[in-house]
A and B are shown apart, each in its own frame.
Chain A
Amino acid sequence: FKSTSRNKRKGVKELGKLLYDDTLSIVNVAKLWRGETIDEADGEDEEVGGDDDFFKKAKNVDVEDSTTVDRGMPVFDIEALERKWKETEADMEDLRRRFITANLLDEQEKREDGEDDM
C-alpha cells in the first residue's frame, strides 16, 4: 500500500522533506510534486527477463545520458501548450489576472466571495 500513498500530490509541508530525501532521486521528487506516479518497479523489472541478460546493459546507456543533461533552457512541450491554449477558457482568465490590465475590482469581489464561502 505504500505505493498508493506515494502517488498522491504532495503538499507544501511535505516538499521540504522531499527535497532532501536521499532515497528519492531528483526526478522522482519532481514527479511526486507534480502529482505524477513514479515507477517504483524500476529495479524489479530488470530481474524479470533473465534470458536477455546479455543485451540489457546497452539499454541503459541512453537513458542515463538523457537524465543528466546540463540544460540551460527549460523543456517545453509545444504541442501540449498549443492544446492547453485552445482548450482552456478558464486558464485564460487566470492568465489575464496576471497582467496590470486586469480588472482589480472584479478580482476583489471574487476574493471576498471566496472568503464568504469559507
Chain B
Amino acid sequence: MPSKQSLSAAPQSLTFTTSTAFRHRLVQATLTGKPIRITSIRSSSLTPGLRPHEVSFLRLLDALTNGGVFQISETGTTLFYKPGLIGHTPSPNSATSSASKVIKHVISAESSGRGVTYFLEPTCILAPFSKSPFNIIFSGPGCVTSSTEQDYSVDTFRTAILPLYSHFNIIAKLECRIIKRSCSPGGGGEVSLTFGHQIRLPPTLHLRNPGRIKRIRGVCYTVGVSSGNNQRMIHAAREVLNQFINDIYIYSETVGHAPAAENGKRGTPGFGMSLVATSSTDCLYSADWGSSTEVIRTPEEIGRGCALRLVEEILKGGCVQRIGMKTVVSLMMMGSEDVGRVVLGKGVVEEEFVGHLRDWKAFGCGEVLVKEWSGSEGLAGGGMGGMDEGQLISLGVVGKGVGNVGRKVA
C-alpha cells in the first residue's frame, strides 16, 4: 500500500511499506530527490528483510549517485534512503584512465534468481538525468542474461525497452551489449550498458497512434545445448505468426558452453526466445520466454508460447506495452509542466501499473487523467491501428518539471 507522509518524525521523508515496487520507489526517490523510508520489508516472512538482489540494487544505486545515504536496520526489514545526485564520479586517484569511468557491477550468486534486467530497467530511467554518462558492466555469478520467471531477457530489454527512449528524443550513445550469455540459475553472464545521452528535461510526449504491426524481429538463443533447438523454436513461433505478416526475422545465437559457475562447476545450460513486433508508428510489443530448470519444456513449447505471448500483447494494444509502462510514465512525470498523452490498451491497467501511479502521487507528482479514447482526436479514420474505440484509453500525464538537477544549463 502506498504511503502516508510521516509528519512527526522526519518531515521530508516519505514512508512506504513492504518490498512492493522496491526498485521503482528508489528510482522515484532519486529522481525527485526525496528521502524515503521503507518499513516492514517481508517482516512476517520466514526469511525477513531485504533479499540479496535488492541489496545488490542498493549497491548499484550507491555507485550511480553521489552523496546518497542508505541505512538498513539490523533485521533488514527497514530501509532509509536519502538520495544523492545522479552521476558517477570516478575516484580522483584513477581519474586519468578512461577505464575508471566504467562502473563494474558484480552480481553475487545469491541473486541469480533474478535476471540482469532487474537492474537494467531502473538504471536506464535514472540515466538521462545523470550528470555524466553511464558506462556499466554487469557481471558476476549472479548475472543472468536470459529471461527468468520474473524478468524478461536482455534481448527484450535491448530491442523493446531501450527504443522507448527515442520517444523522448533520447537517442544518442545508447547501447546495451550482451558480452556473455547465461541462463538462470547460475549466471556468469556479462552485459555492458552505455547510456550517454543526458538531457535536462524530457520533452512532452504525445503518443496517440498505435499504428499497425509492420514487422516482427526476434532473437533465439541456445546456451550449452544443441543449436538445433534454435530452429525448433523458430519453426514453432513461425507456425503462429506467419499467417499475419511476412516480415519476420528471428536471429539465432548459439553459445557452445554456459559460462562456468564459481568453484569451476558447469554453468546452467538453456535456451529461450525473445520476440518484438514493431508498428508503423514505432510502437513496440514484445514477448519473452526461456527454458527453466524447474519445469521441463521442449523448444517447440517455448517458441509457440513466446509467439502466443506476443499475440496477446499485440491484442492488448495501445502505444506502450505492459513492460514499458513504468519507463514511459516515469519519463513523462519528469517532463516539462505540460500535459503529455499516451494511448493505452485497457488490458495494460494492472496491479503494478496502479501501484506505480499511486507511488508517483505519493512523491508529489500529481494524478494522471484517464479518458476514453476516440480516434477522431486529430487522426484520420483508421488511425487507431485496427483497434475498436472501446479498447483504448488515453492517459494524460502532467510533467513535474523536475528534470535533471545535476546538468549544467547550456
Contacts and interface: CB of A to CB of B under 8 A. Distances in A.
B369 A16 contact: yes
B308 A26 contact: no
A99 B150 contact: no
Given A29-B354, A98-B387, A102-B386, A73 B149 contact: yes
Interface in B234-253: 240, 244-246
B370 A70 contact: no
Given A64-B18, A98-B385, A101-B244, A74 B42 contact: no
Interface stretch (B29-37, B134-142, B310-318): B310-318
Contacts of B1: 22, 25-26
Contacts of A48: none
Contacts of A13: 370, 372
A65 B45 contact: yes
A81 B44 contact: no
Contacts of B2: 22
Contacts, number: 149
A107 B382 CA distance: 8
Contacts of B62: none
Nearest to B367: A20
Given A20-B367, A74-B323, A65 B42 contact: yes
A82 interface: yes
B12 interface: no
Contacts of B346: 33
Contact of A82 (B18, B308, B322, B349): B308
B54 to A, nearest CB: 8
A96 interface: yes
B358 interface: yes
A72 B121 CA distance: 9
Interface in B20-50: 20-24, 42, 44-46
Interface of A: 11-13, 15-16, 18-20, 22, 25-27, 29-30, 33, 57, 60-61, 64-65, 67-74, 76, 78, 81-82, 84-85, 91, 94-102, 104, 107-108, 111
Interface of B: 1-2, 18-24, 42, 44-46, 114-115, 117-118, 121, 147-152, 212-214, 240, 244-246, 280, 288, 305, 308-309, 311-312, 314-315, 317, 322-323, 346, 349-355, 357-358, 361, 367-372, 381-382, 385-388, 393
Give 3 nearest A-B pairs by CB, closest first.
A97-B386, A72-B151, A16-B370
